[in-house]
Structure 1
Amino acid sequence: MYQTIYHRPSSVEEAATLFAKGSEPKYLSGGHTLLPVMKQRLASPSDLIDLGKIKDLVGVEVSADTVTIKAATPHFDVATNAAAKKAIPALTYLASVIGDPAVRHRGTIGGSIANNDPAADYPAAVLALGASVKTNKRSISAEDFFKGLFSTALADGEIITQVAFPIPAKAGYSKFPHPASRFALTGVFVVKTKSGDVRVAATGASQSGVMRVPAIEAALKANWSAGALDSVTISADGLMSDLHGSSDYRANLIKVMAQRAVTDAG
């Protein structure tokens, strides 16, 4: 048995101060990763700092060019936000297929991308849309944020406050979910920007976590259609292989999910 002190700060500043005072502190967002790890005695934080009740970290804002999701906003709130759905329907759809209803009512975008699980959904949207991750200290581009499995550019004690997504011309997301966890066995987010650029990101497939898919980007830039990917071959090098699917299987899933995402995008 071990002791941990639970804190419920009312501001980001208070949370950061509490973190600095703790000997082995941890921030708590949705808790879907940290709490099970604590139950298994694989983590024993001295202080548990709950970010979920900080009002400044909850909410969705939509402008002419950007959808901004604050870090402690539950997936359900994103999935059901009418303004966000009109601006980037693929993003709200992604939020609607995360886990199950219990997960969607508790899980948050900040916790998801800070944890950077290789099969999580949100990292694919962040990377494909070229989002900016804002913290209490700085702004980090999507390209610089993800550093590999369960690894990000966040410094010790740094708090994600919001994620700003540029509104694209078109976007789509499709995933092949694990039947039990609903994590992505492979998920692909495709984007056509307003300037005509194409960005594609896959989650659940690579040994290094979320990744861009240049071969699909090139094909879609030449011809934005599902059929344009018929002749594309995705290499299995560096892809995960486990009892749920081999690397070759995941390579094929990247292509198939991309085609479905393009069809959904229109």
Structure 2
Amino acid sequence: MKASVGGYARATDLRHALDLLAQSDGMGRVLAGGQSLIAAMNMRLSTGDLLVDINQIAALKGVTLDGDRLRIGALTRHAEVATDPLIARHAPLLRRATDLIAHAAIRNRGTIGGAIAHADPAAEFPACALALDATIHVDGPDGPRDIPAADFFEGLFETTIQDGEILTAISLPIAEDGEWQVIHELARRSGDYALAGLCVVRRKAGHRIVCISVGSHPELVPDAMARMDAGDIDGAVVALRAAIDPPSDTQASAAYRRHLIGVLLQRAAADLNGEPQ
């Protein structure tokens, strides 16, 4: 099956891209890495769209350090996240996540902004963004907005991005001295979406736990986090399993996913009890 495309336009800068979206009568689709969008179009899940190609917008690329925050442009490729020294030092969770994302061809094209905007509950970067307490930066007809990751993900493939807006960057606090950032997941084969996964960040203020592939969208798990803060790992496992509502599908049952998520939290806890990263 082939994609049905209503048109294609290459944006020269952010303002041009926003103008193109505004003129598309609600049919504009932002093309960055295209790893999810093109697949959806090939399956005719999205038809007649005007593709607004933002790949040439330099302002949406790169990683910079601004005081105690790290800013990552939306067009930063997964492969660039994997090799960037600022990310390796200040947000190692993102670097580790890239090892779990699909295959090299996908990592070479896919972008961190596209992954977060797509909000696939089985994807790693949306969960990482929430675990790291990131801020999502978007721009649109009414100007720029800064959205806490905790308010960004609303449901299955749903976010608070409005029509005509473009995700431009994410920013996040740099890792504290002695901070731990851990990601674990289980998949049937290397490169497959995870059957279950989780991110755990331990800071002076406490733990942050976000699951992958066991709900409709990334969410913090306060009860399990509080148990982890208290050093009660077994209690945290019980609380985490009780908090999630995983789906059953051809890959795994809800009960199996609930079992896996507890095993993964125990593994993460074992990592947290090691030497500081």
Q: TM-score, normalised by structure 2?
A: 0.87
Greater displacement, 5-14 / 102-111: 5-14
1:219/1:120 CA distance change after superposition, 3 Å: same
Residue identity matched to 1:238: D
Residue matched to 1:220: 228
Structure 1 CA distance, aligned partners of 2:244 and 2:134?
27
Match of 1:205 among 193, 214, 226: 214
Q: Say whether residues 1:176 and 2:186 are aligned partners.
A: yes
State the distance in 1 between where 2:250 and 2:49 align: 36
Q: How big is the shift at 1:237?
A: 5.7
For residues 75-115 of structure 1, what are the alpha-carbon distances to aligned partners after superposition, in whole Å with 9 as ceiling and x for unaligned? 01011112211112222111232111011010011111111
Is this contact kept in 2: 1:7–1:50, CA < 8 A?
A: yes
The answer on whether the counterparts of 1:96 and 1:104 sit within 8 Å (CA) in structure 2 is no
Q: 1:162 to 1:263 in 2, by over 3 A?
A: farther
- 8 Å CA contact 2:6–2:49 kept in 1: the answer is yes
Percent of counterpart pairs with the same letter? 36
The answer to whether the 8 Å contact 1:134/1:140 transfers is yes
Question: Residue 165 of structure 1 aligns with which residue?
Answer: 172
**How many equivalent residue pairs?**
260
- In the alignment, what sits opposite 1:9? 11
Partner of 2:46 in structure 1? 43
| Aligned partners of 1:62 and 1:84 also within 8 Å | no
Shift of 1:44: 1.6
d(CA) in 1 for partners of 2:93, 2:79: 14
Q: Structure 1 CA distance, aligned partners of 2:257 and 2:109? A: 29
DSSP 3-state at the match of 1:97: coil
Write the mapping of 1:120-131 to structure 2, written as runs, cut at 5 A: 120-131=123-134
SS at match of 1:175: strand
Report the alpha carbon displacement of residue 53 of structure 1 after superposing the two structures with TM: 2.0
Quote the residue 1:229 is aligned against: 233
**The 10-residue stretch of structure 1 (240-249 or 251-260) with the greater mean CA deviation from structure 2:** 251-260
- TM-score with structure 1 setting the length: 0.91
Aligned match of 1:84 in 57, 82, 87?
87
The secondary structure found in structure 2 opposite 1:235 is helix
Structure 1: which 5+ runs fail to align?
none
Task: Specify every segment of 5 or more residues in structure 2 that has no aligned partner in the other structure, as ranges.
Answer: none
Judge conservation of contact 2:214–2:244 (CA < 8 Å) in 1.
no
TM-aligned CA distance change 1:242 to 1:133, over 3 Å: same
**Aligned letter for 1:48?**
L
Cα RMSD (Å) of the superposition? 1.9
Q: In the alignment, does 2:250 pair up with 1:248?
A: no
2:159 matched to which residue of 1?
152
Alpha-carbon shift at residue 41 of structure 1 (Å): 2.1
Q: Using a 3 Å threshold, how does the CA distance of structure 1 residues 55 and 164 change in structure 2: closer, same or farther?
A: same
Q: Which amino acid aligns with 1:138?
A: R
CA–CA distance in structure 2, aligned partners of residues 177 and 257 of structure 1 = 12
Q: Supply the AA of the counterpart residue of 1:216.
A: A
- Secondary structure, counterpart of 2:195 in structure 1: strand
